[in-house]
Structure 1
Amino acid sequence: MTDLDGTIVRTDGTVSARTDAAFDRVRDAGIPIVGATGRGPRLTGMSRGDLPSADYFVLGGGGRVLDLTGDEPRVLRDLRFPGRALAELMPQLEAEFGPLQLTVEALDAENAPLWSEWEQWPYPDPIELRTREEMFAVSIIKGFLQVAPELGARLTAEARHPDVEIIQAWPGFVEIHAPGVDKATGLTVVTDLLGIDPADVLVFGDQLNDVASFAWAGHRVAVANAHPTLLGMADEVTAANDADGVAEYLERLFS
């Protein structure tokens, strides 16, 4: 299993031909390949383009799981949470942590816009300004709060709501998921389907939203640019994403 952004995707947004070739070699050996990313279903095409050899995809940090082994993608998991949970959660969070700006992923059509209270989004995703009332009225794939890194750590450690899972995806970003959603539970959908023990899974990652999959998998490899938490959990460290560290590791493994 591999994460995408910051792990096989380089800083310039590309994936090298070397990395593609390394994963082709894994696939040709008959080993299932799973891409696991925080990118939501609306970025399925982009994700498949970055890891074309993948047999399965875990999207949205675990909420959507796709089987790509047939003629058409098959949805194995699609978990969302009601917007009304945010209607209850946001006043609680703001009473404790001060004003927050909410962005949500509510649509899963290819390249669909995120809904947000503001336009300051650090990635080239389309943004559609919406009120909180509009967000609260629909089912949510994932919510986002952009906060200072130290506040994100406090918020995820202290905030609780029975209808959502709150995680720090990476410093400065807090994500809100359906209960029980993380990369590990998404990957479990795949391993249960294939009859694979998580102890036999090799996982690559770089950020805090990979903590669950690192805790779950039998062998953990962090890229050199990974968050210190991931580096501390890793069994091995390979070169950074910009140096094709995952490809380098796989080349050694298959040499």
Structure 2
Amino acid sequence: MRENDRVTSATRQPGTPASPTLSTSLHQGNTTSPPPRLIATDLDGTLLRDDKSVSPRTVAALAAAEKAGIEVFFVTGRPARWMGVVSDHVHGHGLAICGNGAAVVDLHGGPGAHRFVKVRELTRRNALDSVRLLREAVPGTVFAVEQTYGFHQEPDYPKLHMEIPDNLLPAEVLLAADGPDADQPVLKILAYHPDLDPDAFLSVARIAVADRASVTRSSPSALLELSGPGVSKASTLALCCAERGISPAEVVAFGDMPNDVEMLTWAGRSYAMGNAHPDVVAAASGRTVANNEDGVAVVIEQILADRA
């Protein structure tokens, strides 16, 4: 069951090392791989420090990469309205991939003025099926709904986010054909369980939902994110790169949580942060230091030094 594309927060995983040595794979393959043309980086737990700031060193590294002709794409699970922290650093193209690949957003104009360039929605039918199947498989699961501009949640959904929801209603009402903001595409469903281990919850949910949605997680809590079938950071990044004539071999990617795994596997070179989830470490071709130690900037600086 596939869906048509419509063109129109998480930090360190507990128990993972904070500061591994920079992987020697930073230098592997440089003699045979083409020079990078695009850097794709996650935000929370990756580019951003734990206080959600972009360090001066990282700001300088991003600007230097763009000056050298390397495009920088922010690829995040965040909704577009949470992109103010990096909207000053998107440079000429102004684009970011949000909602785990559910949207490509032009951030020109700053917070509140973004424009959706590409939307890959989760159909209401698939969303309702996914909610029903998760309720059956994991009783006690509660839901929230992310749309292009709206955010809604069930009454029992905990206060996990930085905003007041537009509506407090059961997910079945929120996702009905005549529900709130019915004219807006659904970008993703958030599913939370108060007691389950996060990775166990992810495994059960993927089996239960099957091909009705893509299921991942970026939070250290048992909070899952459901997007349209086939929608991921990797698949939307691949679309953006194809439009620019950029091959996977010309992409360098960074991430720290399971929602980054596909992107790190797809990119020609990829780096797990020092604070990364074990699945991310296994998927990446290299490893850098933690987000609080500017791990993305460390690699970008080395890439630019190698080109000099």
Q: Specify if TM > 0.5.
A: yes
Structure 1 stretches lacking a partner, 5+ long = none
The aligned counterpart of 1:199 is 249
Judged with a 3 Å threshold, the aligned counterparts in structure 2 of structure 1 residues 150 and 75 are, in CA distance, closer, same or farther, namely closer
Residue 121, structure 1, aligned to residue 159, structure 2: yes
Matched, 1:158 2:158: no
User: How much does 1:191 deviate?
Assistant: 0.6
Q: Closer, same or farther in 2 for the Cα pair 1:114/1:54, shift >3 Å?
A: farther
Aligned ranges for residues 41-52 of structure 1 at < 5 Å?
Answer: 41-49=80-88, 51-52=89-90
1:220 aligned onto 2:270: yes
**Shift in Å at residue 212 of structure 1?**
0.9
Query: Which residue matches 1:143?
Result: 189
Task: Give yes or no for contact 1:34–1:54 (8 Å, CA) kept in 2.
Answer: no
Aligned twin of 1:57: 96
In structure 1, what is the Cα distance between the partners aligned to 2:84 and 2:140? 35
From 258, 261, 265, the equivalent of 1:211 is: 261
Q: Which secondary structure does the structure 1 equivalent of 2:226 belong to?
A: strand
Shift of 1:54: 7.1
Q: Distance in 2 between matches of 1:236 and 1:15?
A: 22
Counterpart residue number, 2:138? 97
The aligned counterpart of 1:253 is 303
Name which of 75, 78, 94 aligns with 2:119.
78
The separation in 2 between residues aligned to 1:73 and 1:42, in whole angstroms, is 8
Q: Secondary structure at the match of 2:126?
A: helix
Q: Distance in 2 between matches of 1:86 and 1:36?
A: 23
Is the contact made by 1:48 and 1:54 (CA closer than 8 Å) also made in structure 2?
Answer: no
State whether residues 114 and 125 of structure 1, in contact with CA within 8 Å, keep that contact through their aligned partners in structure 2. no
Output the amino acid matched with 1:225. N
Unaligned residue ranges in structure 2 (runs of 5+): 1-39, 177-181
Which structure is richer in relative contact order (CA contacts within 8 A, separation 6 or more)? 2
Calculate the aligned-residue CA RMSD, in Å.
2.4
- 1:22 equivalent to 2:72? Answer no
Return the index of the structure with the highest Cα Rg: 2
Contact kept, 8 Å, 1:38 with 1:62, in 2: the verdict is yes
Aligned residues: 250
Comparing 39-48 with 9-18, greater Cα deviation is found at 39-48
Quick one: structure 1 residues 42 and 202, their matched pair in 2 at CA, closer, same or farther if it must change by over 3 Å?
same
* TM-score computed with the length of structure 2 as normaliser: 0.74
Residues 84-116 of structure 1: per-residue CA shift (max 9 Å, x gap) = 33333323222222221011112x33xx54433
User: Once the two structures are aligned, what percentage of the paired residues are identical?
Assistant: 30
Letter of the structure 2 residue corresponding to residue 164 of structure 1: A
Contact 1:103 1:143 in 2 (8 A): yes
Normalised to the residue count of structure 1, the TM-score between the two structures is 0.88
